[in-house]
Structure 1
């Protein structure tokens, strides 16, 4: 596998993920990928975790071929995903959450879209089964705002399960303005605007992006704070719009 061109790269951002790693999240990723006929790699991108996340990930990597760890400074999920995407070598590059809220096997629903000529495919959490009511209300309000401010046509921009053709990854992630490799963060940063900026740039570039329903399970994260995150999400929407007016996403 190591000598063949990589077909699928899986980028997994990690910040304080000791619980998910110890409960077997990476084992589930390994089990699925080991059964596939195509070549693959997994990049676990540690976001400067202050706990044993990176050490546990390294221990896993030492025992499982095809996995590697990138130790990055703490910049929040957005900057961490960007670092992994730009380091990936796959023909298709997917980023997915460590908690496997969307199981990796759901990539089977995305891959056929690339054969059909799409440049990117994003997962959509239909109904958000199991999510608290407050998160569903937040999602509905955010959907209305992004349609008005950014004119993004997608039902769910925030699902952490997105794949892009490797050839377009530098074009998208190299143009990021709000979230980039220079970003820094404090604490567990939930960056709603990251996905918006990715999709806005892809649309600006004229890339074909499909939206496909995927399985999703609420994991009960404590990193979402309704009022603060809604406010930051609105600010990010406006920042993307301002950057667009200023021509910072020009092709």
Structure 2
């Protein structure tokens, strides 16, 4: 590693129309601010001569055979010689002269400094209304809620960061969701983040952008969900489970009337179904958390680890066995009633109030027993 302060990094795929302008702007920003740095172009297989343009303008070209926005940036970060990296697209939409807004924040100790186009300015025609009023605000809000991140523009392409901490995150996504992965993993790893206002200008290319609104928007949303088992699995699972339990306890004693609506065993069936669904989703939540931690997708969670000190395989087996015994007890009581009636016809409503909870206990017991074995297997290397 050299003593360079900053590497200005641009991903590139057939950017011949705007690349020279961007590289010149970056070189000028380094010179005018007396910053020791370099310009790196991570080329993703351009066929329009972008590589020669970049070299002629004084940039170092890194050839990246793996296609994708994220793949190009990962290779560029690995090749960077600067202590800091400032990245932005090579389509003339971002202003490299904003370099002085980012460097002081990095010098203050921040690990990731995001540009914020909404607190800066978005020039007319620079951002489609779908992105400006729906995509970016919704995805950024979801990210802040899920991960408590103090950033309001998750997808700004102009950002600066300390190279070594970002490399240590082991970023993996190769597509446009790389923008979200960097922010989310930085938060999960406890890196310091802040943002500065910046400007977004209209794309300087005559061809359509590489970004595909709905496809890439879904990839960002999918990434946010997959990296938050709590919001994807645990909260929906727990809420569903307890709604089902409360409804079941309300209906097991007998039919309930609210206004002109009467709720009976048919509603009880669906309520107990909610109990089972909630239990399944909750098991997925714990499994996803264990697997994500084991594979390095998610950082260790001390609170979660402490739970395993009390809820282990043996506790799960005892709990599952207790549910099975409860189901057997309810079934025995139902058989006792049937025997008292000479094994003849009984009221379906009365018996379903016993057989449905009994079957539910059987299923929950089996879930608890085998789920405990599965979680124990997943967490075998945890210790």
TM-score normalised by length of structure 1: 0.81
Hey, what does 1:186 align to over in structure 2?
none
Hey, what does 2:36 align to over in structure 1?
39
1:128 matches 2:177: no
1:71-82 correspondence runs (5 A): 71-82=63-74
Q: CA deviation at 1:140?
A: 1.9
Hey, what does 1:21 align to over in structure 2?
19
Hey, what does 1:200 align to over in structure 2?
184
Q: CA deviation at 1:149?
A: 3.8
Q: Deviations over 1:176-211 (max 9, x none)?
A: 23x1xxx5xxxxx6x1x2121111111122111111
Q: Which has the higher contact order (CA 8 A, sep 6+)?
A: 1
Which of 18, 27, 31 is the matching residue for 1:30?
Answer: 27
Query: 4+ residue stretches of structure 1 with deviation over 4 A?
Result: none
SS at match of 2:109: coil
1:210 matches 2:194: yes
Which of 173, 176, 179 is the matching residue for 2:171?
Answer: 176
SS at match of 1:125: strand
SS at match of 2:18: helix
Give the Cα–Cα distance (whole angstroms) in 1 for the partners of residues 114 and 82 of structure 2.
Answer: 17
Q: Which has the larger radius of gyration?
A: 2
Hey, what does 2:299 align to over in structure 1?
250
1:232-247 correspondence runs (5 A): 232-241=219-228, 245=289, 246-247=292-293
Hey, what does 1:8 align to over in structure 2?
6
Q: CA deviation at 1:125?
A: 0.6
Q: CA deviation at 1:121?
A: 0.7
Q: Going by fraction, where is helix more abundant, 1 or 2?
A: 2
TM-score normalised by length of structure 2: 0.55
Which of 217, 228, 231 is the matching residue for 1:230?
Answer: 217
RMSD of aligned C-alpha atoms?
A: 2.4
1:107 matches 2:104: no
Residues 204 and 227 of structure 1: CA distance in aligned 2, closer, same or farther (over 3 Å): closer
Which of 137, 146, 151 is the matching residue for 1:140?
Answer: 137
Structure 1 unaligned regions, length at least 5: 184-188
Q: Is the 8 A contact 1:8 1:94 kept in 2?
A: yes
Q: CA deviation at 1:244?
A: 7.8
Q: Is the 8 A contact 1:49 1:74 kept in 2?
A: no
Give the Cα–Cα distance (whole angstroms) in 2 for the partners of residues 149 and 91 of structure 1.
Answer: 30
Hey, what does 2:82 align to over in structure 1?
90
